[in-house]
Amino acid sequence: MDKFNVNEKATDEAAQHNQTQNTAANGSCQQSQAHAYTQDVSQGYNQQQAHTYTQGVSQGYYYTQPAPRPLTPHEAELNQKKHERRLMSKLGNRTSWGVFTTFIFMYIISIAVTCFIPQTSNPTDYNLLSNLANACASLPSMFIGGALVLLLTKTKLRDALCFRREKSMKNCMLVFMVGMGAIPICNTLSGLVSQNLELIGIQNLSYSIDTGTPEITAMFVIINILCTAIVPAIGEEFLFRGAILGAIKPYGEGFAIVMSSILFGLLHGNLGQIPFAFAGGLFFGFLRVYSGTILLPVILHGINNLFSVISSIIIYSYGEQAAYLFLTIYFLVFGIAAVIGFFILARKDKELLKFNSPKSLISEKDKAVSFVISPGFITFSIIMILETVYVYAAFAYGLI
């Protein structure tokens, strides 16, 4: 009996030793499989697949599915292009919904404020109060739309409202001088478009009520400067050259300038103003990107609108001939200054028109197409077209 027990004990120890060796061999094999797969992961598999497979091996799942084959370089390139197009579509969708929100809030707030305008027999006073109501609606609406764009695109406020210039003061003054001469070119472009539209029976209509020749008072001047020059410059530049351009800029500076200018033009909803708004938006955006600060486009935008107020006051006070003379002198002086400033700046800064753009597998054209075919951009464009058609039809049939 003792001999049998001893032999049985020896047999058990041998079996246990063999089992231990087999377990160690299996563990070594599993670790080799995990290591081999980890190497395959570094050659094309994603981290989630690597973690799932390695975890399954460590838990003893011997019948896990075989690892998927790595993507070929061509397939990886196609996937990257698809991802970049989807990213541009999301960007166009979110920025367009931000501008559309601005449009809706402008209407809602404007209607709400207009309800509190007292009735007056003087059409000039009523027109001034209406302009003031529109200004009260415009500024908060622009801030709401800009905040929504920043939130949807996860853009930091300091990237939208940058007040520190990146170029020297001399270069900033030169490019600002060029902008002062570029604005008349934009006005001329807008005038040419309006004249061509009039040839086919479409007039450049204004949304303001025709009150004849108003009385030029201090209150008239202050309210027009506030509503036409100051409020639009601050609100529109915060939304378009601040929030929207700041959100698109990481994907290409030139691309951001063009896309923000298209949205800027569409928001105006007036066939006579859209060409000027688009062309002006291009230069405002360039000024923002080149200088690095949003202050220069705000100031230039305000000065441009201020000249519009001054021209209106001259027309009301001294007639159209005096206004034409004023604008001609302005065009000549600042046009010549712009040409001189551009040549000086081009000689000083060899990278004047060079825009930074991240490395991408899709072209700028593909970026733009993906941006404008997004649902938000298409919806906003259709709404603005319908609004423009309605306004022109209302003027034509005497409803406004």
pLDDT, greater one: 183 or 88: 88
pLDDT, greater one: 199 or 88: 88
**H/E run at residue 56:** helix 47-58
Contacts of residue 106, Cβ cutoff 8 Å, sequence gap at least 6:
134, 137, 138, 141
Give the C-alpha separation, 374 to 98, whole Å. 13
pLDDT of residue 323: 82
* Stated pTM of the model: 0.77
If you search the block for the tokens 């009523």, which residue do you land on?
126
* Contact in structure between 136 and 109 (CB atoms under 8 Å): yes
Mean pLDDT of 164-176: 87
Contacts of residue 315, Cβ cutoff 8 Å, sequence gap at least 6:
322, 323
How many Cβ atoms from other residues are within 10 Å of residue 113's Cβ? 17
Write the DSSP string, 345-367.
HHHH-TTTT-------SS-HHHH
Could you report the per-residue pLDDT of 273-309, keeping only the tens digit for each?
Answer: 788 889 889 999 999 999 999 999 999 999 988 988 8
Could you report the per-residue pLDDT of 325-375, keeping only the tens digit for each?
Answer: 888 888 888 888 888 888 898 888 888 888 888 888 899 999 999 999 999
